[in-house]
Structure 1
Amino acid sequence: MNNSIVAIVPASGIGHRASNEQNDIPKQYKKIAGIPILRHTVTKLLLDSRISHVNVIIKQDDCFAEQILDNLNKVNIIKCGGKRRIDTVYNAINLINLNKNDWIIIHDAVRPGFSINCLTKFIDQCLYDKVGGILAIPVIDTIKKGSIRVHHTINRDDLWLIQTPQMFRFGLLKKALSIAIQNNLPDITDEASAIEYIGHNPLIIKGSISNFKITWPEDFALMEKLYGF
């Protein structure tokens, strides 16, 4: 029997770096080509029919998501957003009823630039891996460590810039996030970090530069101009 594939989109963050104004709306609700970023992202995930549902995770007091995602089939809005990303995803996993071998795909709300071909390739490869995998692009720029002055240059061989989606078995991810939270680990910035902590090595699948995360104010115009929204 085929295992289910369910997506989680954490959308409870504020995104201070992407705003030039105080009290601005969260970046996932800002518009590109007249459509909120979150709707772009969720709509693209739904293009792969193997994803049975997309669960969008928001905070209790969120007043935007339900209207923005209105009329989208196979979308659930869950109000269990936490203080950190890891808390948000873990809260959601504890509310979703899946078998341990089903698959969870986690994708950033503000990465709308991935293509359906990229998503299809990613799922295809993860389905045959015992752990699961992540999208990433190789580091091509010179990397230096320092603050005011350069301390040293870091060898960029085998270094990757990590993206989402990330895809793991439901039971394995639930276990990994539970251990990370119980131990209050400070360096768990994505789901793969938690998987690594319990001794597993996720598959690396090459992503695309178009799948960048909207982070800074200028990223909105860049996404719209370069990638056809």
Structure 2
Amino acid sequence: MAETTDSVIIVAGGSGSRMQSDIPKQFLQLAGKPILMHTLQQFHAYNPLLEMVVVLPQNQISYWQDLCIQKQFSVSHTVVTGGATRFQSVKNGLAAVKNKGIVAVHDGVRPFVPVEVIREAFAIAREKGNGVVSVPLKDSIRQVSGQVSKAVDREQFRLIQTPQCFRPELLQKAYALPEENTFTDDASVVEKLGENINLVSGSYENIKITTPEDLLWAEAFLKKQIR
């Protein structure tokens, strides 16, 4: 059940370098709208009363605000300035959260996260303290050590996605820790507290758009949805 006290921090700090674009990837157009707008609309579809905090680099905020005016984008959200790292950006976003319910953190360039996946992640976090979206691996994998590689059981591994949802006191305690290089996502920060991470079944549609190939897939996916 969606709660009126829940929040989502949407982190959008991409530069567009891997996309080979001068435009930051979160602002690239999909079906006439920036990727970031599609992302916000998915969370709005889950819960129109969800508090949304968008974290952007300082030099991108006015550009985003202009886009919102041009596109007459009406999904309510707060914009805050990001930091030098993802850890600092999430920390800044967390400081701006006003609600006291479950807090989700989501990548701004994952615009296709299904509403049912969002719902399940929030529900598991409400029940168990955290809920982190993941999917099984499709391909075979090998572990590499120097010049030697060996096959490993892919069933023992998961690809981690977002949203990653947490009780607010847990996330606040985690982001009070000193930053470490091993912090690759929010789950890894919370895990430092000794918490068990509860995995939630995700979706292969929930891709992170970071390369030109991803953008081609996204355009094809949208065309299929529109038909």
Q: Partner letter of residue 165 of structure 1?
A: P
Q: CA deviation at 1:58?
A: 1.0
Distance 1:92 1:150 in 2: 42
Is the Cα–Cα contact under 8 Å of residues 10 and 108 in structure 1 kept in the other structure? yes
* Residues 1:69 and 2:35 aligned together: no
Identity %: 30
Secondary structure of the 2:212 match is coil
Distance 1:34 1:69 in 2: 13
Is the Cα–Cα contact under 8 Å of residues 54 and 93 in structure 2 kept in the other structure? no
Is the Cα–Cα contact under 8 Å of residues 17 and 215 in structure 1 kept in the other structure? yes
Q: Structure 1 residues 158 and 46, CA, compared in 2 at 3 Å: closer, same or farther?
A: same
Q: Decide which of 209, 215, 219 is 2:214's aligned counterpart.
A: 219
1:192 corresponds in structure 2 to: 187
Distance 1:219 1:31 in 2: 13
* Residues 1:118 and 2:117 aligned together: yes
Deviation digits for residues 79-126 of structure 1 (CA, Å, limit 9, x no counterpart): x21111111000121233344xx2111110000112222222332333
Distance 1:170 1:50 in 2: 20
Is the Cα–Cα contact under 8 Å of residues 52 and 77 in structure 2 kept in the other structure? yes
Q: Structure 1 residues 198 and 116, CA, compared in 2 at 3 Å: closer, same or farther?
A: same
- The correspondence of residues 35-74 of structure 1 with structure 2, limited to 5 A, is 35-49=33-47, 51-62=49-60, 63-70=62-69, 71-74=73-76
* Residues 1:146 and 2:144 aligned together: yes
Q: Partner letter of residue 17 of structure 2?
A: H
Consecutive aligned runs of 4 or more in structure 1 exceeding 4 Å deviation: 147-150
* Residues 1:128 and 2:136 aligned together: no
Q: Partner letter of residue 226 of structure 1?
A: F
Secondary structure of the 1:46 match is helix
Q: CA deviation at 1:77?
A: 1.3
Secondary structure of the 2:50 match is strand
Q: CA deviation at 1:149?
A: 5.2
Bigger mean CA deviation after superposition, 132-141 or 113-122: 113-122
Q: CA deviation at 1:211?
A: 0.2
Q: CA deviation at 1:148?
A: 8.7
Distance 2:79 2:23 in 1: 18
Q: CA RMSD in A?
A: 2.1
1:9 corresponds in structure 2 to: 10
Equivalent pairs counted in the alignment come to 218
**TM-score, normalised to structure 1's length?**
0.87
Is the Cα–Cα contact under 8 Å of residues 98 and 170 in structure 1 kept in the other structure? no
More helix per residue: 2
Distance 1:156 1:108 in 2: 25
Q: Partner letter of residue 213 of structure 2?
A: E
Secondary structure of the 1:218 match is helix
Unaligned runs of 5+ in 1: none
